[in-house]
Amino acid sequence: MQSAQLDKLPGFVERRRHNFRRFLDGLGSLQECFILPVIDPRANPSPFGFPITVREGIDRNRIIRELEEARIETRLVFGGHILRQPGFQHTPRRVHGTLEQADLIMRNTFFIGVYPGITDEMADYMIEVLSRVRKLA
C-alpha cells in the first residue's frame, strides 16, 4: 500500500529545488558577505536546506539573531567538525591537510530552510532580511 504523502514527493522535491534556486539568485548580490553554495551543473540535488557561510569579519551569531528575531528559523551545521568533537579526540584516523575548510564551515556556516511550504513571498522576505547583512558587517 502506498502512502498518500509519497504521491506528493515529486512536488515536494521540485518546490525545494525552486526555493533553493530562489535563495541562490536572491542572495547573489551579497557575495562580499556570504559564500553561497555551488551546484555542479551535472547534478540535480534535492536539498534539505540552504547553507550560508559568512565571510571572515562578519559575525554569524549576529546574522542568526537578526533572522530569528524576524521569525526566520536557522540551523547550525549538525555536529560541526566531527574531528573537533571530544568523543573523537583519541579515535585513530588519517587526516590530510589542515582541515581549514572544515573549521571554517563549523565556525561560519548556518542553514535556512527550503521547506516546500515556503511561498515566493516568504522567500522574498527571507532574502530581504538577509540583505540587511550589509548594515551588520
Q: What is the pLDDT of residues 60-84, one digit of tens each?
A: 999 999 999 999 999 998 767 788 8
Residue 76 and residue 51 in contact, taking contact as beta carbons nearer than 8 Å: no
Which residue segment(s) compose the domain that 28 sits in? 4-136
Q: How many domains does the chain have?
A: 1
Model confidence pLDDT, tens digit, residues 11-37: 999 999 999 999 999 999 999 999 999
What are the φ/ψ torsions at residue 34 (nearest 5 degrees)?
-125, 145
Judge if pTM exceeds 0.95: no
Query: What residue ranges in the chain does DSSP mark as E strands?
Result: 34-35, 49-54, 74-76, 109-113
- CA 57 remoteness from chain centre: 19
**Cα dist from 19 to 35, 87, 121, 123, 128, whole Å:** 18, 36, 11, 7, 15
CATH code for the domain in which residue 30 is found: 3.90.1150.10
